[in-house]
Amino acid sequence: MKITFASNYFNHHQLPFCEALAACGGVDFLFVEQMAMDEERRAMGWADDLRKPPFVVRLSQENREEIRERILESDVFLIGGDGFDDLIDRRLRIGRPVVRISERIYREGQWKAVSPRGLLHKHRQYVRYKSMPYYLLCAGAYAASDFALIGAFPGKMYKWGYFPVLRTYPGGLPQAKLRADGAESAPGIDGPIRLCFAARMIPLKHPEYALYLAARIRERAAKDPCGRGILLDMIGGGELEENMRAKAAADALADIVTFHGAKTPEEVRDIMETADIFLFPSNHLEGWGTVINEAMNSGCAVIAGAAAGAAPFLIRQGENGLLFRNEDKEDMAGKALQLIEDSARIRTMGRAAYRTILSSWNAQEAAERFYDFCRCVTTGGTFDAPQEGPLSPAEVIRPFVRPQ
């Protein structure tokens, strides 16, 4: 089976899925990157010289016609981002499947769907193909709602996401969260409770929420001599970094907050493995949020804003993490303070989070499911969609879900 995947550029988040798909028996796989990585991503440690497997090619003037021919003749064309609209049209009109990966198209508000010019563009790009073999992989919980609003991809929307490197731990948790005898350590008893924030420090990521929580915990500890001690790791650079450093100093948090600056993806994972609770306060402008995958894989109890794309797909409220209301720092703090008082629950959630990634939300599982999906849509078979995880049906979830 010949599968071609085209996207803007190849990065470390795509590597595990692509390698797993390429390794499926009988698959002739090619990844087409359409541009060089932008400077902002390189500054974040997303190296443009990432080890690229032989199946990755950069689109150029010299190979353009060869790649276009490859896309046309592929059994399945997987597209992330823009481009190749004419080839998508030609494929669909002769019954050759196209699968699109997309985050939200109305991230800033579904009111934009009323724009006549915008609707015309979306009709040309998506809606007119609704009876053709055009499928949507929703990279975020609210993407299905956006596309349903315009009548695109009816009955053909599936859950998807990003699948970073999977780390496995024989004890079910990283060694840093286990005692020497292999038993679970107890956060706040065997040592301070470790909190972690990892993201670019920009407004939509709300790094100030992590500092607000640290101040609230310190305030509580001052009133209760038996209160749990904490340490907070702040990872990432960005426009708000200096402001956050100044705020931590002004709030007398310097002894419990460590600013690490920008780190490579591997370094971020190493720090996550020492964390008990991972804070992800991003708002509705966060299309996915791969650090949630990585933190759950690291056995962290994740507290995440419910409006971020990955959160409702990955987190089951109260079981493997906690969701708080969009941009409601008091709701976040309330849930975090309750969790901190129950060290056993922190570990229970962390183990459940790890199992969620290990059992379904990982590159190998996604690749195997996608290969089965491709086999079905190219042979006229019926795809038996799983009940949860990648390629399970994407229900229409109204944006800004407000969990209790």
Both tokens assigned to 69: 């021919």
Both tokens assigned to 161: 């996401």
**28: three-class secondary structure by DSSP:** strand
Both tokens assigned to 294: 């990585």
The number of residues in the chain equals: 404
Q: What is the pLDDT of residue 181?
A: 74
Backbone phi, psi, residue 98, to 5°: -125, 135
Q: What is the pLDDT of residue 400?
A: 66
From the CB of residue 209, how many other CB atoms can be counted at a distance below 10 Å? 23
Give per-residue pLDDT as tens, 132-159.
Answer: 999 999 999 999 999 999 999 999 999 9
Q: Which domains does the chain have, with CATH numbers?
A: 2-163+363-379 (3.40.50.2000), 175-359 (3.40.50.2000)
Contact 56, 33 (CB under 8 A): yes
Q: How far is CA 137 from CA 105, 241, 334, 393, in A?
A: 13, 34, 34, 9
Q: What is the pLDDT of residue 40?
A: 58
Contact 149, 110 (CB under 8 A): yes
Backbone phi, psi, residue 221, to 5°: -65, -35
Contact 237, 201 (CB under 8 A): yes
Residues of the chain falling short of pLDDT 70? 36-50, 223-228, 400-404
Contact 262, 201 (CB under 8 A): no
Residues 245 and 253: their CA atoms lie apart, in Å, by: 10
CA 212 to chain centre: 24
Residues 1 and 374: their CA atoms lie apart, in Å, by: 9
Q: What is the pLDDT of residue 41?
A: 53
Q: What is the pLDDT of residue 180?
A: 74
Residues 330 and 60: their CA atoms lie apart, in Å, by: 51
Q: What is the pLDDT of residue 113?
A: 83
